[in-house]
Chains A and B, each alone.
Chain A
Amino acid sequence: MTVAAIEPGKRFVRTRHVARKERQQSVAKWIFFSMTVAMIIPLVAIVAYLLWKAAPSLNWQFLVDVPKRGMREGGIWPAFTGTLYLVVISLAVSAPIGVLAAIYLNEYAKDNWLNRLINLAVINLAGVPSIVHALFGLGAFVYAAKLGYSILSASLTLAIMTLPVIIASTREALASVPMSFREACWNVGATRWQTIRSIVLPNSISGILTGVILQVSRAAGETAPIMFTGAVFFKAVEKGKLFSYGLDDQCMALSMHLYTVSTQVPNVKESIPFATAVVLLGTVLLVNVSAIGLRVWLRNRKKW
């Protein structure tokens, strides 16, 4: 293509070539925008549909009451507290182990065959289906460790399940801290730990927390691992009491309860499973929001 001489005064005129580029520009923008909309639509639709269907049963009494008449009436309090127990205990186990292991792997470990093997194992473990974790939990915690069908067994199984993902996401967050920061610290005689504590962790803590938060939803939502290890169809607890279980008790859980009222119990009011789902969703949301609050608070603190 030859470039024609441009007349003075017509230098900034819109040519065909420019028009095509502009069209491509706007097409690209619209593709990305429409995909964003396409992603939001199902989300909004699901929440709206759930709320609409759940509306008849959705009230405070439903949350704090115990199930009655074989799940056909009453509330979901035991399942709600059960889920809180499982999520809190499992993350109390997996988050510290996962984060500390990730710090070791990313900051201390040398790049040798053993650590590459560990890496590979972690990544593969993260991809193991939850039902396999459930079987492992059944064998290891319920039978071998003699913890029985209990909240402890179920929580530990959930912990094992969330651990590799926490390790992977924490490593990702640590790796996003520029190497030059670490080198600057080493150059002035800081030890590895001083570097990690004062530079690496403050700059990766929000990423680390995001990874942990995502696992809250996973731990709260999984059914298979707890069904094999400690969650039950029905467990009588005191209505509205928060610490209603012991660690060696079996418990109800929202995800499991949702499954039973939807498929196992005949003639359940339609709104009950939907209301259960809304509570499950709300619980996860609540934990996420408080974790995000923690993250913002940590970020605003200058030193820690």
Chain B
Amino acid sequence: MSAPSDKTIVVQDLRLAYGTREVIHGISFEVGRNEIFAIIGPAQSGKSSLLRCLNRTIDFVAGATMTGTILFEGENVRKTRDVFALRRKIGMVAPLPVGLPLTIYDNVAFAPRCAGMHDKHELDGLVERCLRQAALWDEVKDRLGSLGTALSGGQQQRLTIARALSHQPDVLCLDEFSIAIDPVTTMRIEDVLKELSREITIVLVTNLVQQARRLARRTMFMWKGEIVELGATEVVFSEAPADRRTYDYVHGIFG
């Protein structure tokens, strides 16, 4: 095991219950710095809930109780004093693109403004940089003042990525970002992610196992709130992963 400083996220014995129904049953794993870490698994495995625990938006879910520890850059997220700063350190991209009913510019400038950045010049630069990083700049640079919700689905998803990058996070979490967009756009975003992974850590929750295979260094297979297997992507997708269920799921004969 490497020194803790290489680890962006350390999860120890995380449990999550909605009311009395436990959906994550004590899982532990680590995510290294600047790696692309994929989480695969069928629906209802607790993947999205896990992401919510990470940036503490689980607080908004009535009746949810979280135990165990999540260390983010060595800080316990459950005890963090400034939860808003924590959330800005973690970019979150939802499955369905959510363009806020604001202009394209305001969509990206929203988070920096909430954090107290109001300098027009600084904001302009940041908005352009984020939109470029999300491979959207060339398509929208002439109409930054039009509504973000009027963009196509694929563009909106890239807009949400730009928004997630606008608060300069250390980790970018994507929750099945490609379910509502076409394969070409998906490939473009995957290229974007590869590019981004030089600077930031990426946690990729996905239903498309091949996407994990294409992008991730390590892959975690979650099922019913437990980790079935966690290892190098080559091993998980090989003919002989450690767990038989992993093989079945990855090869589409899970049932």
Chain A interface residues toward B at CB < 8 A: 110-111, 180-191, 194, 198-199, 202-203, 302-303
Q: Is the CB of B115 within 8 A of A189?
A: yes
Count, chain B residues at interface, CB 8 A: 28
Q: 1/0 contact trace for B100-122 toward A, CB 8 Å?
A: 11110010001100110000000
The reply to whether A190 and B94 form a contact with Cβ atoms under 8 Å apart is no
Most buried by B among A188, A202, A302: A188
Interface residues of B in 43-67 (CB under 8 A from A): 55, 57, 60, 62
B96 within 8 A of A: yes
Q: Which residue of B lies closest to A186 (CB)?
A: B57
- Which of the candidate stretches B6-14, B163-171, B206-214, B223-231 sits at the interface with the other chain? B163-171
In the complex, how many angstroms separate the beta carbon of A109 from the nearest chain B beta carbon? 10
Q: Which of B85, B101, B110, B166 has the most CB of A within 10 A?
A: B110
- B residues within 8 A CB of A180? 94, 96, 98
Task: Among B84, B96, B98, point to the contact of A189 (Cβ < 8 A).
Answer: B84
Q: Is B167 a contact partner of A110 (Cβ separation < 8 A)? A: no
**Complex interface: chain B residues within 8 A of A181 (CB):** 98, 100-101
Q: Does B160 contact A (CB under 8 A)?
A: yes
- From residue 23 to 52 of chain B, which have CB atoms closer than 8 A to chain A? none
Shortest C-beta distance, B143 to chain A (Å), equals: 14
Given that A181-B100, A184-B94, A187-B92 are known contacts, is A194 also in contact with B55, CB under 8 Å in the complex? no
**Is residue B87 within 8 Å, beta carbon to beta carbon, of the partner chain?**
yes
Give CA–CA (A111, B114) in the complex, Å.
27
**Contact call B84/A191, Cβ cutoff below 8 A:** yes
- Closest-CB distance, B137 to chain A (whole angstroms): 19
B158 within 8 A of A: no
Bound form: Cα–Cα A110–B84 in Å: 20
In the bound assembly, the distance between CA atoms of A302 and B106 in angstroms comes to 11
The interface residues of chain B lying within 8 Å CB-to-CB of A199 are: 100-102
Distance of A199 Cα from B149 Cα, bound (Å): 13
Chain B residues in 8 Å Cβ range of A185: 100, 110, 114
| A110-B100 contact given A189-B85, A189-B115, A190-B84, CB 8 Å threshold | no
Task: Tell me if A194 and B114 are in contact (CB < 8 A).
Answer: yes
Is A111 within 8 A of B163, CB to CB?
no
Q: Give CA–CA (A181, B163) in the complex, Å.
A: 13
In the complex, the answer to whether A188 meets B57 with C-beta atoms within 8 Å is: no
Query: Which residue of B has the minimal Cβ distance to A199?
Result: B100
From the candidates A188, A194, A203, name the one contacting B164 in the complex (CB within 8 A): A188
Q: Which residues on A sit within 8 Å (CB–CB) of B85?
A: 189
A273 and B205 CA atoms in complex are apart in Å by 71
Kindly list chain A residues whose C-beta atoms are within 8 Å of the C-beta of B84: 189-191
**Also in contact, A188 and B114, with CB within 8 A (given A110-B62, A111-B62, A183-B57):** yes
| CA gap between A191 and B83 in the complex, in Å | 9
- The reply to whether B60 and A187 form a contact with Cβ atoms under 8 Å apart is no
**Contact present for A189 and B114 (CB under 8 Å):** yes
* Nearest 6 CB-CB pairings of A with B: A188-B111, A189-B88, A189-B87, A187-B92, A184-B98, A189-B84
Chain A residue with the shortest CB-CB distance to B101: A203
CB distance from A192 to the nearest CB of B (A): 9
User: Whose C-beta in chain A lies nearest to the C-beta of B84?
Assistant: A189
Query: CA of A187 to CA of B164 in the docked complex: distance in angstroms?
Result: 8
In the complex, residue of chain A having the shortest beta-carbon distance to the beta carbon of B82? A189
Residues of A within 8 A of B86 (CB): 189
B94 touches A187 (CB 8 A): yes
Distance to closest chain B CB from A22 (angstroms): 36
Residues of A with C-beta under 8 A to B60:
182-183, 186
Q: How far is the CB of A257 from chain B (nearest CB, A)?
A: 46
Q: A76 vs B115: C-alpha distance in the bound complex, in angstroms?
A: 57
Bound state CA distance, A190 and B101, in angstroms? Answer: 15
Minimum distance in angstroms from B162 CB to a CB of chain A: 11
Q: Could you name 16 residue pairs across A and B whose Cβ atoms are closer than 8 Å? A: A180-B94, A181-B101, A183-B98, A184-B100, A184-B160, A185-B100, A186-B57, A187-B57, A187-B94, A188-B111, A188-B114, A189-B84, A194-B114, A199-B100, A202-B101, A303-B106
Task: Closest B residue to A110 by CB, please name it.
Answer: B62
Asked if A188 and B88 sit within 8 Å, CB to CB, the answer is: yes
B81 to chain A, nearest CB (A): 14
Question: Within the assembled complex, what's the spacing in Å between the Cα atoms of A286 and B209?
Answer: 62
**Could you say which residues of chain B place their CB within 8 Å of the CB of A188?**
87-88, 91-92, 110-111, 114, 163-164, 166-167
Bound Cα distance from A203 to B102, whole angstroms: 10
In the complex, the chain B residue whose C-beta lies closest to that of A188 is: B111
Chain A: which residue is nearest B93 at the CB level?
Answer: A187
B114: A residues at CB distance < 8 A: 185, 188-191, 194, 198
Docked complex Cα distance between A191 and B88 (Å): 11
Min CB–CB distance A114 → chain B (angstroms): 14
Q: Contact check: which of A182, A189, A198, A303 meets B167 at CB < 8 Å?
A: A189
Known: A183-B60, A187-B87, A190-B84. 9 other contacts (CB 8 A): A110-B62, A181-B98, A183-B98, A184-B160, A188-B91, A189-B114, A189-B167, A198-B102, A303-B106
